[in-house]
Structure 1
Amino acid sequence: MFPVVTAGDVINISGCFERSVMTWIDLGNPAPKSEWDRYDLFQWETGQLQRLTVGSSPPSPAILDLLRQRRTKRQFWPLSDIELSDFFWHACRCREAWPSEMGFDLEHRAAPSAGAIHPIHVVINRPGNAQWWLYEPHGHFLVELPTATSLFSGLRSHSQTVLDAPDATRLLLLAEPGKTLAKYSDGCSLVWRDAGALLGVMALTAEGLGLSFCPLGITGEPWASSLAKQGKLMGVGLALLGSASGTSVR
């Protein structure tokens, strides 16, 4: 028997729809430009460098099994260096690069990206340490961002209010929109879609490696964009990553 929908129900549904429409932000319809712009990449102020080991290939379930098994996990223990390296090796490493007319290389990585541009940088903060590190996908290493230590001090505490996980490693997705906008008009939604695709690949990678992974609802703003002037960098997401047990730190 079908439920009876009253006039009051219709009014409530209509009001909800109107509120949704009012808060929806139209980012336009992206399209490739007839002539691509040249873009000067953001120049990072860097400190010490930390090499990561070449990622291993442990036995893991087939992709369809991973899709069935994937769950958001909210219990974290500190990652070992090997676990962190394996995660980045499989989820974020650049596998191939080739030059473009826009002044920067196009790339092949595990996650899809509009125009093979990959405008999303990953910056991490490990538990018990105030330093933030940029993952370099071309050489598979971490490089310290000295100014981020003070600029991002509020971001860590803010993320703790969302999910209290002191032993998790924080992964900040930091977009460089100018890369995508060099090729596409109305390209902002492509940057957000790139961020979502990367989070999806990260989640499946963590599942395949037996790690805990949880995307948070916050973007990292207003702290993320303070790292650069003139809107060159914007926060587009933050996630937590950790070991699924307390015996892996080495």
Structure 2
Amino acid sequence: MKNIGRTVGIVTGLMFSAMSFADSDCPNTTYDSGYKKQLPVVGRDELIKTNTPLFANGKITCLIGLNYRKMSENEKLRIETGSFKNIKYRIYYTDGSGSIQGDKNSTLDTIKDLHVTNWSTGCKVDGMEDKHWCYIQKKDLMVGIWKDGKSFISIGSEHFPNSNIAIRIDQQTPNSASAESGFNRKQTTQIIEQLKSGSKALTRYQEWPYEQNKDQTIDLYGFAEAWEIINTVYRTPK
């Protein structure tokens, strides 16, 4: 009986140590509904490596829940939430994915925001070069920073061969380019400046296999702040 009691004590101590480590690694910790108390907590590899928030009023929280890819462990995700220039944001440190307020009524709540469209964010890493690129996206419009630090704009996907892409911000002169080569550097710089001060954008492209224009109107609420946020994410030490 003494041995059984000692064993239980050791197991309990190990579980407590694991929980204490998770809590100390992140002062703000929440557990989702899938969390399994009896399983270990394992941190995910992170693209964003910082122990301080990206922005002054940001809050880093650890979300711990079952790793559904393995089912034998809980995984820990670090997430920063806050507001930047009165625009709400949520960024995952694993890969820079997240959401930035794209509607004045948005709360960044999954359920409450069913009928609004926010700016989505993300970063990708080139496994051959260990270099990353990041972007923000809303509907068919993607704006980002390449591995070499240059900005880019992409409209739509699965373009019809030899077709063009185009964008018009408010009543400004439209910009167009080959879907294959994309906007040149001068166009990209000009378009981003217009996006930062504009209220809406009209995008156009032709999607395979339909050789007809596909237009979308995009509310530019929060674009300027979203662009600053993703640039900060891009520059943060990786």
The TM-score with structure 2 as length reference comes to 0.27
Q: Which has the larger radius of gyration?
A: 2
Query: Structure with the greater relative contact order (CA < 8 A, sep ≥ 6): 1 or 2?
Result: 1
Structure with the largest fraction of helix? 1
Query: Which structure has the highest strand share of the two?
Result: 2
Give the structure-1-normalised TM-score. 0.26
